[in-house]
């Protein structure tokens, strides 16, 4: 299906077609963009595809005397304004030089572009060639103030997604203040949907919350200066009977890493307005005449195949047209990270010993975590002083990297570049370089403050330090951490009228630094982190193709964390490690087998002291590494099908299928055992019903796997696999399928 954008000038109707989706906009009275349709792709816009009207009481003010049924308060709008007759939540609000906040931006012009323009200073999905996508730009203008509101819609050749963003341009003669500027707003004809979002906390991120829409406003968001552990910048509206395989699913995902608001308002006549963008609390943007402001991008995905179809659309788009650089399409290395093995207490000899054991197991990358710089023996000092601690590494970073490389492993490093410790040389030299408000206390989190990346000189100074370290040794991996949220948000470099721009300017500064460093070191695999999953968002994935999914490495907890994350984010973006038992976060004992099976459902690695493995454990770990190398291309780049939800019982299951459907890997996990259980059946998904498959149970821990057997794809899809009895808690099974 080709992407297409049709404009019917007689009916003033825009019909956007991309992948398997259509999106239709009508210009009411030639001026007001109304939302008409978003759903399965239509062959054409028939005469029945138009806005419906009905007269309402005087409490919904009308636009025209001759059309009493036309009211902005009831019109399904594309981008509603504040103050001009719509009492529902606005998508934007501007305070003008006269002190008022009433604007009415109406249609002025449009243009249709081949491809997809970049967003100035912001991450966004992209097209590699102009024939992959088409973009519609609708320019609206408020005649009184001269403010132009440019709505952008991109549809894709191969993806059932629409990328939306907004650009504001002050075409008037007076400055104004943008006090709200969301990225997308969609008015649905009905509110007969469930509201789904991903919530949580450190270290238990991205739980799934689903409930029917209720009258009024339901919202989630973050005011923390980051996308946060608590809520992800994603929501979905689901048909009441939608599940993994069927039903309407409408997804909204914000390509942004700062504070955000996602809300759905169910209004008096049963329509639902869904919106997503920068959180307006604490935000404003001063627009001088001639100046512009660009919102982040919101990616809208529609699926008629339930949550699973929605997720796979996001996965394919984000994996191939959000992530960038050489690692986008490369298999990711198996790594070992020393954090839970040593914490701050290590020497070069200890690191080399862990690397030596890793080399024996076939591990490909060693990552040196926190504690290698300044006087970093605890978490209360030295952030900002990115120089090697000679007490821990007397021969320097290059010597340690070469020792690790001599064991057959690449070498990686942890940084936390956005932070500064009050006990640091950098802070003593530049106490005004952190986010702060004069005369207010400076709140600390983890004994650290946040550097003011809205200031170019601050961001550049840190970037130069990081670049110096990365140039000093053969480093091929960077874990980029961020361990606190913003308070006292102010900048010493901004005038009073721009102080509320600080948080967004910080994000623009961060994105500029990330672009600079990742471009200068394309051979380095960058992984983002924020106390684990506190900034797992599309904005970071644009610069770093994977994220440390959670600081919680417990295998049972990870079932929910990784399952919830997969609603939006591809497996290739998820770091997943085997850690020690009992687990350091929850104290749970699980088998090395189960820990390995859970971690192999992501970018696989270890986070423990390999020198403490018994012979039996070392043999199993070596087998896990070897097996993962066999399947990692499938795991990292195949299509994910969720089979059993860990949020709904004691079992979890998912499978990954190759694009040609000739190969698959299926995982089943049981949390708590039951006495005298019934026989369970696991229906598989994504297979070709016309193919026969060899099904082999993989038990790397030893004998116990059943003999391989052959089965038709139709049988596996519709009858399923009989689940073997799993004695004891915390059990796992893995099957490999090949046509």
3-class DSSP string for 608-637: CCHHHCCHHHHHHHHHHHHHHHHHHHHHHH
Cα 703 vs. chain centroid, distance in angstroms? 40
Long-range Cβ pairs for the range 671-679 (8 Å, 24+): 671/556, 671/559, 671/646, 671/729, 671/730, 672/729, 673/726, 673/727, 673/728, 673/729, 673/731, 674/650, 677/725, 679/722, 679/723
Residue 481 marked ligand-binding: yes
Give CA–CA dist 501/684, Å, rounded: 50
pLDDT tens digit sequence for 315-364: 999 999 999 999 999 999 999 999 999 999 999 999 999 999 999 999 99
**Fold annotation for 323-531:** TIM Barrel (3.20.20)
What homologous superfamily does CATH list for 643-738? Golgi alpha-mannosidase II (2.60.40.1180)
Q: Of 681, 683, 684, which is closest to residue 640 (Cα–Cα)?
A: 684
Going by C-alpha positions, the residue among 542, 612, 607, 616 that lies closest to residue 573 is 542
The rounded distance, in Å, linking the Cα atoms of 257 and 570 is 17
pLDDT of residue 50: 78
The predicted structure's pLDDT at residue 55 = 80
The 3-state DSSP composition of the chain as helix, strand, coil percent (nearest 5) reads 20, 35, 45
Measured CA distances, 80 to 76, 102, 116 (Å): 9, 12, 24
Q: How far apart are CA 609 and CA 356, in angstroms?
A: 11
CA distance 456 to 494: 12
Cα–Cα distance list, 317 to 244, 445, 540, 639, 736 (Å)? 19, 36, 15, 12, 26
CB 657 within 8 A of CB 664: yes
Give me the half-sphere count of Cα atoms (radius 13 Å) on the Cβ side of residue 194.
17
* pLDDT tier, 61 (very low <50, low <70, confident <90, very high otherwise): confident
User: What's the confidence (pLDDT) of residue 704?
Assistant: 65
| Token output for 185 | 């707003």
- Decide: helix, strand or coil at residue 513: helix
Q: In what order do the strands lie in the sheet with 639-644?
A: 639-644, 651-657, 663-670, 731-738, 692-697, 709-712
Say whether 369 counts as a known binding-site residue: yes
| Backbone φ and ψ of 207, nearest 5° | -70, 160
**pLDDT tens, position by position, 552-595:** 999 999 999 999 999 999 999 999 999 999 999 999 999 999 99
Task: Find all residues with CB under 8 Å of 332, minimum gap 6, and list them.
Answer: 525, 546, 572, 603, 632, 636
57-61, 240-244, 351-355, 368-372: segment of lowest average pLDDT: 57-61
* Sequence-distant (≥ 6) Cβ neighbours of residue 723 within 8 angstroms: 668, 679, 680, 681, 682, 733
pLDDT at 13: 96
Q: Is 479 assigned a ligand-binding role in the annotation?
A: yes
- 370 is an annotated ligand-binding site residue: yes
Pairing relationship of beta strands 176-188 and 285-287 according to DSSP bridges: antiparallel
What pLDDT, on the 0 to 100 scale, is given for residue 257?
98
Which residues contact residue 537 at a Cβ distance below 8 angstroms, ignoring those fewer than 6 apart?
Answer: 227, 232, 233, 254, 255, 256, 257
Give 203-253 pLDDT, tens digit per residue.
Answer: 999 999 999 999 999 999 999 999 999 999 999 999 999 999 999 999 999
- The model's pLDDT over 411-464, given as tens digits with 9 standing for 90+, comes to 999 999 999 999 999 999 999 999 999 999 999 999 999 999 999 999 999 999
Q: How far is CA 316 from CA 22, 64, 328, 481, in A?
A: 19, 46, 12, 26
Contact criterion met (CB below 8 Å) for 501 and 285: yes
| pLDDT interval class at 406 (50, 70, 90) | very high
551 is catalytic: yes
CA-based radius of gyration for the chain? 27
Using alpha carbons only, what angle is made at residue 270 by residues 267 and 272, rounded to the nearest 5 degrees? 65
**What letters, b where the CB count within 10 A reaches 16 and e where it falls short, cover 655-666?**
bbbbeebebbbb
Q: Is the pLDDT of residue 642 over 80?
A: yes
Confidence label for 57 from pLDDT (cuts 50, 70 and 90): confident
With tokens 């001639």, the residue in question is 290
* Rounded-to-integer distance, Cα 246 and Cα 239, Å: 9
* pLDDT score recorded for residue 269: 93
pTM of the predicted structure, to 2 decimals: 0.98
Q: Which of 551, 554, 597, 651 is catalytic?
A: 551
Reduced 3-state DSSP string for 693-735: EEEEECCCCCCCCCCCEEEEHHHHHHCCEECCCCCCCCEEEEE
Question: What is the residue whose two structure tokens read 């299928």?
Answer: 657
CB 150 within 8 A of CB 138: yes
Integer CA distances (angstroms), 238 to 35, 175, 362, 565, in order: 18, 42, 44, 17
In degrees and rounded to multiples of 5, residue 500 shows phi and psi of -75, 0
Report the C-alpha gap between 665 and 737 in whole angstroms: 6
* CATH number 3.40.640.10 is the correct assignment for the domain at 72-321: no
- Over residues 598-629, the pLDDT tens digits come to 999 999 999 999 999 999 999 999 999 999 99
Is 414 within 8 Å of 370 (Cβ atoms)? yes
Consult the annotation and say whether 202 binds a ligand: yes
Please give, one letter per residue, the 3-state secondary structure of 187-212.
EECCCCEEEEEEEEECCEEEEEEEEE
Catalytic annotation, pick one of 481, 537, 639, 651 = 481
The C-alpha atoms of residue 557 and residue 555 are separated, in whole angstroms, by 6
How sure is the predictor about 154, in pLDDT bands with cuts at 50, 70 and 90?
Answer: very high
Q: Omega before 454 cis (within 30°)?
A: no
How far is it, in rounded angstroms, from Cα 498 to Cα 288? 11
For the chain, domain boundaries: 72-321, 323-531, 643-738
Q: Inter-axis angle of helices 502-520 and 456-472, to 10 degrees? A: 30
Q: Phi/psi zone of residue 443: left (φ > 0), alpha (ψ -120 to 50 degrees), beta?
A: beta
The pLDDT of residue 726 is: 81
Return the closest-CA partner of residue 25 out of 41, 6, 53, 10.
Answer: 6
pLDDT tens digit string along 708-734?
999 999 999 999 999 988 889 999 999
The mean pLDDT of the chain is: 96
pLDDT at 197: 98
Neighbours of 722 (CB within 10 A): 10
In contact, 331 and 636? CB cutoff 8 Å: yes
**Sheet containing 21-28, strands listed edge to edge, beginning at the edge strand earlier in sequence:** 4-8, 13-18, 21-28, 32-40
Is 483 known to sit in a ligand binding site? yes
Q: Is 187 a catalytic residue?
A: no
Would the annotation count 446 as a binding residue? yes
Q: How far apart are the first and last CA of the chain?
A: 28
DSSP label of 399 = H
**pLDDT tens readout for residues 293-326:** 999 999 999 999 999 999 999 999 999 999 999 9
Q: Is 683 annotated as a binding residue?
A: no
């Amino acid at each position: 299906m080709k992407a297409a954008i049709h404009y019917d000038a007689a009916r003033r109707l825009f019909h956007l077609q991309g992948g398997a989706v259509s999106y239709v906009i009508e210009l009411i009275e030639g001026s007001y963009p109304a939302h008409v349709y978003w759903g399965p792709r239509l062959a054409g816009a028939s005469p029945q595809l138009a806005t419906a009207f009905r007269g309402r009481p005087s409490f919904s003010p009308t636009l025209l005397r001759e059309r009493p049924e036309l009211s902005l308060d009831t019109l399904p709008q594309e981008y509603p304004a504040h103050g001009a007759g719509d009492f529902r939540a606005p998508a934007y609000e501007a305070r003008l030089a006269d002190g008022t906040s009433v604007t009415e931006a109406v249609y002025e012009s449009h243009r249709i572009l081949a491809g997809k323009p970049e967003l100035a200073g912001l991450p966004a999905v992209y097209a590699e060639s102009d024939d992959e996508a088409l973009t519609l730009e609708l320019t609206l203008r408020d005649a009184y103030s001269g403010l132009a509101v440019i709505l952008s819609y991109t549809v894709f050749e191969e993806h059932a997604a629409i990328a939306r963003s907004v650009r504001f341009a002050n075409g008037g003669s007076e400055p104004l203040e943008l006090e709200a500027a969301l990225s997308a707003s969609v008015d649905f004809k009905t509110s007969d949907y469930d509201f789904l979002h991903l919530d949580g906390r450190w270290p238990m991120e991205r739980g799934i919350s689903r409930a029917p829409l209720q009258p009024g406003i339901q919202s989630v968001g973050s005011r923390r200066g980051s996308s946060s552990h608590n809520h992800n910048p994603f929501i979905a509206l689901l048909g009441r009977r939608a599940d993994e395989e069927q039903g309407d699913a409408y997804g909204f995902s914000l390509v942004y890493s700062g504070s955000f608001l996602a809300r759905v308002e169910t209004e008096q006549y049963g329509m639902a307005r869904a919106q997503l963008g920068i959180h307006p609390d604490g935000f404003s943007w001063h627009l001088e005449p001639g100046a512009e402001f660009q919102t982040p991008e919101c990616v809208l995905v529609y699926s008629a195949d339930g949550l699973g179809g929605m997720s796979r659309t996001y996965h394919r788009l984000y994996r191939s047209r959000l992530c960038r650089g050489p690692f986008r399409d490369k298999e990711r290395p198996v790594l070992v990270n020393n954090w839970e093995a040593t914490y701050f207490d290590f020497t070069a000899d200890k690191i080399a010993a862990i690397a030596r054991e890793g080399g024996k197991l076939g591990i490909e990358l060693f990552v040196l975590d926190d504690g290698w710089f300044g006087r970093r023996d605890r978490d209360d000092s030295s952030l900002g002083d990115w120089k090697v601690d000679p007490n821990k590494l007397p021969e320097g970073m290059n010597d340690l990297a070469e020792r690790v490389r001599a064991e057959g492993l690449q070498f990686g490093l942890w940084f936390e570049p956005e932070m500064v410790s009050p006990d640091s040389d950098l802070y003593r030299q530049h106490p005004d370089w952190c986010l702060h408000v004069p005369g207010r206390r400076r709140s600390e989190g983890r004994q650290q403050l946040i550097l003011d990346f809205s200031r170019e000189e601050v961001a550049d100074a840190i970037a130069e330090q990081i670049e110096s370290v990365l140039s000093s040794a053969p480093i091929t991996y960077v874990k980029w951490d961020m361990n606190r949220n913003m308070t006292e948000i102010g900048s010493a470099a901004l005038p009073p009228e721009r102080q509320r721009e600080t948080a967004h300017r910080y994000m623009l500064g961060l994105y500029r630094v990330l672009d600079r460093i990742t471009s200068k070191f394309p051979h380095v695999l960058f992984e983002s982190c924020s106390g684990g999953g506190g900034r797992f968002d599309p904005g970071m994935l644009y610069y770093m193709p994977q994220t440390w999914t959670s600081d919680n490495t417990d295998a049972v907890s990870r079932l929910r964390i990784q399952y919830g994350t997969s609603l939006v984010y591809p497996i290739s973006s998820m770091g997943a490690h085997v850690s020690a038992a009992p687990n350091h976060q929850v104290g749970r004992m699980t088998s090395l087998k189960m820990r390995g099976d859970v971690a192999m459902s992501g970018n696989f690695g270890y986070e423990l002291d390999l020198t403490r493995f018994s012979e039996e454990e070392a043999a199993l770990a070596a087998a896990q590494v070897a097996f993962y190398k066999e399947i990692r291309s499938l795991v990292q780049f195949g299509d994910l099908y969720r089979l059993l939800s860990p949020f709904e019982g004691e079992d979890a299951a998912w499978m990954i299928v190759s694009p040609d459907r000739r190969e698959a890997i299926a995982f089943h996990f049981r949390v708590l055992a039951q006495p005298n259980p019934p026989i369970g059946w696991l229906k598989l998904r994504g297979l070709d019903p016309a193919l026969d498959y060899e099904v082999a149970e993989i038990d790397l821990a030893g004998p116990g796997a059943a003999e391989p057997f052959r089965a038709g794809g139709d049988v596996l899809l519709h009858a399923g696999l009989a689940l073997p009895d799993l004695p004891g808690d915390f059990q796992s099974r893995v099957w490999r399928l090949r046509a």
